[in-house]
Amino acid sequence: MTSPHIDAPNNIELAYHLHLLAQEAHQLEKQPGQIEAAEKKFRLILEKDPNHEAALSGLAGITLRKKLYLEARELYTKLLNINSQHDFAEMGLGYIHFILGELEQAEVIFKNTIARRPHDAEPHVALGWMYNDHGNVTQAFEEFKAAHLLNPQNDGALEGLGFICFHYRVYDDAKKYFHLSIEINGNNGGSHVGLGNILVLEKQFTEAKYYFDKALQISPYDESAYNGKANIHKALKEHSEAEKNYRLAMQYTPAQPFSYIGLGELLLHLDRREEAKQILKQALDLLIHPGDMQTKVIRLLKKADSSPGLFSWPDLFFSKKDKSS
């Protein structure tokens, strides 16, 4: 729905112009490196028509990708005030709740969307990532599987199944899912990160860095790609670069626990124990579901309290997008 003044007969030409401009912006948004140009066009449209749904929706998506969560929340809320049935806006608000660690609110939104749209794979994918990133891998698998059954061509569902295989160390199957996801959508940054994570485990660091850099070309704010690059630097004992990338990951997605774990592990190795304990306690607060990750963080905290010189590297930790656990 556009503003009443845009619908008036004497403004039909302007309405058509804004419609074409919105189409151009949406096309730009899909192209790597063009997010700023798309944002500029959406903001220009909103200067002419503050209630233009396509522009509000496009700008909200961009601000979400850029981690401008407060502005994204305002835009999604405005969309819902204009059109209470705008599912994209409701899903966007769900993602913001999820990213900010407000999991109960996110879960309610995603489940309500599933109830209204039982044949849509997307809310299942969103719920799957929420469960995955907070340690409930079993439930995450059920949601990704449901999404894949609803739509075998959904790249997010394939990506999610890839990360489930990654979690259970079934790396050949994980690679297959990630490659299938990229074949469907070459701009799926999470699947690039997933392939990078596997290559890190195989110690193919140059190839791994290629996939992480590709993910950052797709989305310069992808915390999981920074987390992956940090893991490479850590493995190569480039400690300052590793710390910088972990902190970038934490900055872009503060409610994602895995970068905290990686940084805490690094700080322990550097014998910066008090800093490590603070970071690891934050990670523990973010891991709300009991599981292997909680156990590992508790073990690291115990090592932080032990005598200096007893620490050795445990397994590498990875996160998803938010997408590499």
User: Bigger pLDDT: 84 or 279?
Assistant: 279
Which of 92, 108, 124 terminates a domain? The answer is 108
Same domain as 88, residue 2: yes
**Average pLDDT across the chain, whole number:** 86
pLDDT over 90 (residue 234): yes
**Residues listed for the chain:** 325
In a domain, 222, yes or no: yes
Amino acid in position 40: K
The Cα 204–Cα 232 span in angstroms is 9
Percent share of the chain, pLDDT over 90? 52
Question: 153-179 burial, b if ≥16 CB within 10 A, otherwise e?
Answer: ebbbbbbbbbbbbbbeeebeebbebbe
Same domain as 215, residue 91: no
The Cα 227–Cα 309 span in angstroms is 26
In a domain, 140, yes or no: no
pLDDT over 70 (residue 320): no
Cα pseudo-dihedral 177, 180, 184, 190, rounded to 10 = 40
Same domain as 320, residue 218: yes
* pLDDT tens figures, 30-56: 776 777 888 888 898 888 889 988 899
The Cα 97–Cα 117 span in angstroms is 20
Which of 60, 92, 108 terminates a domain? The answer is 108
The Cα 110–Cα 275 span in angstroms is 36
pLDDT (0 to 100) of residue 311: 47
Same domain as 185, residue 323: yes
Which of 40-44, 181-185, 251-255 shows the lowest mean pLDDT across its residues?
251-255
Residue 8, C-beta contacts closer than 8 angstroms, at least 6 positions apart: none
Question: 82-107 burial, b if ≥16 CB within 10 A, otherwise e?
Answer: bbeebbbbbbbbbbbbbbbbebeebb
In a domain, 168, yes or no: no
pLDDT (0 to 100) of residue 65: 80
CATH of the domain at 268: 1.25.40.10
Domain that holds residue 218: 181-325
Q: How does DSSP classify residue 308?
A: T
pLDDT (0 to 100) of residue 253: 81
**What is the pLDDT confidence band of residue 103, given thresholds at 50, 70 and 90?**
confident
In a domain, 150, yes or no: no
**What is the pLDDT confidence band of residue 272, given thresholds at 50, 70 and 90?**
very high
pLDDT over 70 (residue 321): no
Which of 81, 108, 135 terminates a domain? The answer is 108
CA angle, corner 140, sides to 136 and 144, nearest 5?
Answer: 175
Same domain as 188, residue 61: no
Which of 33-42, 162-171, 268-277 shows the lowest mean pLDDT across its residues?
33-42
Which residue, chain included where needed, has tokens 């700023």?
36
Counted domains in the chain: 2
The Cα 130–Cα 75 span in angstroms is 22
pLDDT (0 to 100) of residue 289: 65
**What is the pLDDT confidence band of residue 307, given thresholds at 50, 70 and 90?**
low
pLDDT over 90 (residue 99): no
Same domain as 323, residue 202: yes
In a domain, 232, yes or no: yes
In a domain, 45, yes or no: yes
pLDDT (0 to 100) of residue 175: 97
* pLDDT tens figures, 45-85: 888 889 988 899 899 988 888 878 889 999 999 998 998 87
User: Bigger pLDDT: 87 or 259?
Assistant: 259
**What is the pLDDT confidence band of residue 316, given thresholds at 50, 70 and 90?**
very low
**3-class DSSP assignment, residue 323:** strand
**What is the pLDDT confidence band of residue 258, given thresholds at 50, 70 and 90?**
confident
Beta bridge partners of 288: none
DSSP states of 193-217 as a string?
Answer: HHHHHHHHHTT-HHHHHHHHHHHHH
In a domain, 314, yes or no: yes
Same domain as 202, residue 76: no
In a domain, 209, yes or no: yes
Same domain as 186, residue 101: no
pLDDT over 80 (residue 1): no
The answer to whether 64 touches 95, Cβ cutoff 8 Å, is yes
